[in-house]
Amino acid sequence: METGSNSDSLAKAETSNGRGNKLGSMLPKIEPFVPKKDQNHNPRELRSWAKRTGFVSHLSGETGTASSTERFDSSTGFHVGKSGRDQRAGGSSPKIEIDPVLGRTRPNMGVEIEMDSGSGSGSRQGRKTVADGNGLGEKVEERKVGLNGNGVENGNGNGKGNGVASVTPLVVEEKDEEGKGGRDVEIGMYPEGEEQGHEGGNGHHPGLKVGLRDNPGLGALIYYGLQHFLSLAGSLIFIPSVMVPAMGGTDKDTASVISTMLLVSGISTILHSYFGTRLPLVQGSSFIYLAPALVIINARDYRNLTEHKFRHIMRELQGAIIVGSIFQSILGFSGLMSLLLRLINPVVVAPTVAAVGLAFFSYGFPQAGSCIEVSVPLLLLVLICTLYLRGISIFGHRLFRIYAVPLSVTITWIYAFFLTAGGAYDYKGCSPDIPSSNILVDECRKHAYTMKHCRADASNAWRTAAWVRIPYPLQWGVPIFHFRTSLIMIIVSLVASVDSQVGTYHSASLLVSSKPPTPGVVSRGIALEGFCSLLAGIWGSGTGSTTLTENTHTINITKMASRRALVFGALFLILFSVVGKVGAILASIPLSLAAAILCFMWALVVAVGLSTLQYTQTASFRNITIVGVSLFLGLSIPTYFQQYQPESILMLPSYFVPYAAASDGPVHTINEQLDFSINALLSMSMVVTLLVAFVLDNTVPGSRDERGVYIWSCAEDVATDPSLQLDYSLPGKFSSLCCRSSCLRA
């Protein structure tokens, strides 16, 4: 910037640019910054002028000192041109031109910083494209651009330069050595709690193969849709393998529950894709509901039931899920979740989600160890696929990373069939019909447990299931409503909202390169998931419906984020649910094999939960203490409640004893229903962890940067950005029926 520049020189610069007439009507008329005649410039005036023009830049990183000629344009903001490279700061300083509007690289320029003028009041985004004179790319680090009173770039790097504005997130586009164009690397900068910016103009992140609103064609949609659901097979089908046998159900009942879960998951995914947050997220039965279901199943009242035990417990679970889903819907539709979002941060989400997986350590390997020759090879195979073979690509697809679970289960299941057919589990005089014929013979009784868990033909679901069976509402009978179980599910539905709806929504929005949803959109998604849990309670799937956290991992690997693909996959899920033999095949998986794969799935849930801490300052002693204390107490306090088991120890298998504390816990009041609820809630790790982390994070002082506060978009961003409207607004006429103030409010 020349020291003596005035309005006449600005007009000449505008004419030379050739853009004044084109862009003058697009931007508001802003008076240029005119320095005083005495040359004593006030840095606050320059900073204020820069904010009014839309250029707010404070790029953190390496700082160089340069002296160059700067030029202003009163219509388009201002442009800073630098010639040559500066060696005075100990390194090269590439050419820089700052253009807040145009978005294209100028010839003979080394670096261009584009400012996104359509980001509204939210965090602004810039793109820095690097290319040297030979067309070759070079890595560019984050830079701090400061302007002193004379308009010269400040190279102090100490944050004391004059005219320094706020930090702007960058996306660095790097070219490979052949100059063929390459990849975009997001540089995350979180100044004072601001979140990383996102691109929304083209509908998807440059790193994605298929974006959120892309339509790659019918064949690709079917393939990608099935890909999403196959990669999540462990979460979708193995929960009934744990619940139904514990409820006293038969193999046929297990097949029916699996079919019901497939139907509810398909319907819920379609509803969420059109009327929820509209992010590409799979809805299904969650492990969050498994622990409270096991607590209710192992209650003292149901231990002595012999006739219709499965149906009675299922009706009890249905009533509790319906009440909890209604509470969750009210939480979303009333807007209360928008207020709660201010208090829920990664420091709360991370230990809570981790506690969900850690809660099943007493069930995992004790059940898998019942047939080590099947479970251990499965665990080794899934680890080899996910860790050692993850970089291998077959026909352009990393099959071992995407399909690690279904591939490992299929291979190990075939191996179990060979063991069974080879006579590894044939005992003289013992029938493969387990356990009805074997418990009557003393010599076979000791082999019944091994045969039940190891034989691949132990299940009779395939022989008894019909080819066509349509799951229908209230198929198990009228739901039973009790205060004690309803209170448990109300608290669990809140944990589900903290887990998937808050953490997963935010993570998924980063992956698809859309700005984070508004609090109103998050509330809408939570309300709809409450409605989907209501459907799960009416149909009788045994658990509520929520967002599967593992789905973000699938999007990150496959780079497929089309919501249309998820809809096609959900349609196939609904089709499979009415084919009774499909559920029967899945129900025939040996229990030891199912338990082994669940060990991996629960461990993955723990890892996904702890990875949420990346949005915080992980080295902060405050955060380390809160996460550590909440996780330790979340495991230790339930152990205290679980030691009061005088009656259940002799009546239940050892892996179910921790879930029987509700009936014999230490809390005793005048109300037995309340006693059951309190003992049950405090015996569940995820509930205790959530309470401890929530209280500590919201009472211990900490900066927004340190806490990693979630930043959500505001309603003004959605109103002014067409790409955000396409991402989150309701489709067609439904958008006009929903008042924007209620659906998209901040």
Phi first, then psi: give them for residue 203, nearest 5 degrees. 90, -10
Of 467 and 237, more confident: 467
Residue 114 host element (H or E): strand 111-115
Question: Region 678-692: what's the mean pLDDT?
Answer: 94
HSE toward the beta carbon, residue 481, CA cutoff 13 A: 6
Mean pLDDT, the chain, whole residue set: 75
Cβ-contact 286, 496 below 8 angstroms: yes
- Tell whether the model's pLDDT for residue 150 goes beyond 90: no
Question: Could you give the 3-state DSSP secondary structure of residue 63?
Answer: coil
Q: How far is CA 244 from CA 25, 38, 434, in A?
A: 67, 85, 16
pLDDT reported for residue 132: 45
Question: What is the rounded distance in angstroms from the CA atom of residue 218 to the CA atom of residue 201?
Answer: 24
Of 20 and 310, more confident: 310
Cβ-contact 589, 456 below 8 angstroms: no
Q: How far is CA 256 from CA 260, 433, 469, in A?
A: 6, 21, 8
Cβ-contact 350, 610 below 8 angstroms: yes
pLDDT reported for residue 480: 94
Query: What is the CA angle 525-476-478, rounded to 5?
Result: 80
Cβ burial, residue 492 (10 Å; 0-12/13-18/19+): buried
pLDDT reported for residue 535: 96
Residues 6 or more apart whose CB falls under 8 angstroms from that of 670 comprise: none
- Tell whether the model's pLDDT for residue 397 goes beyond 60: yes
Question: Region 506-517: what's the mean pLDDT?
Answer: 81
Question: Region 123-152: what's the mean pLDDT?
Answer: 41
Report the number of secondary-structure helices (H) and strands (E) in the chain.
Answer: 34, 11
- Tell whether the model's pLDDT for residue 363 goes beyond 60: yes
Of 621 and 56, more confident: 621
pLDDT digits (tens, 9 = 90+) for 127-139: 444 444 444 344 4
Of 524 and 119, more confident: 524
Q: How far is CA 222 from CA 205, 226, 267, 278, in A?
A: 22, 6, 17, 19
Tokens for 12? 């000449």
Tokens for 669? 């009041």
pLDDT digits (tens, 9 = 90+) for 5-20: 444 544 444 444 444 4
Question: What is the rounded distance in angstroms from the CA atom of residue 79 to the CA atom of residue 410?
Answer: 61
What does the DSSP assignment read for 389-456? STT--BTTB-HHHHSHHHHHHHHHHHHHHHHHHTTTT--TT--SSTTTTTTTSHHHHHHHHHHHHH-T
Cβ-contact 554, 510 below 8 angstroms: no
Residue 583 host element (H or E): helix 580-587
Most confident of the ranges 3-12, 141-150, 426-435, 657-666: 657-666
**Other Cβ atoms closer than 10 A to 263:** 24
Long-range contact pairs involving 473-479 (C-beta distance under 8 Å, separation at least 24): 473/538, 473/539, 474/538, 474/540, 475/256, 475/260, 475/539, 475/540, 476/311, 476/314, 476/315, 476/318, 476/540, 477/311, 477/314, 477/315, 478/315, 479/315, 479/316, 479/318, 479/319, 479/322, 479/537, 479/538
Residues 6 or more apart whose CB falls under 8 angstroms from that of 691 comprise: none
Q: How far is CA 109 from CA 81, 126, 180, in A?
A: 9, 17, 18
pLDDT reported for residue 75: 39
pLDDT digits (tens, 9 = 90+) for 437-464: 555 567 777 777 788 888 888 888 888 8
pLDDT digits (tens, 9 = 90+) for 565-615: 999 999 999 999 999 999 999 998 988 899 999 999 999 889 988 988 988
pLDDT digits (tens, 9 = 90+) for 64-96: 433 334 444 433 334 444 444 344 444 444 444
Question: Helices 404-421 and 218-231 meet at what angle, rounded to 10?
Answer: 60
pLDDT reported for residue 393: 85
pLDDT reported for residue 29: 53
- Percent of the chain exceeding pLDDT 70 equals 67
Question: What is the rounded distance in angstroms from the CA atom of residue 138 to the CA atom of residue 131?
Answer: 6
Residue 547 host element (H or E): strand 545-547
pLDDT reported for residue 286: 84
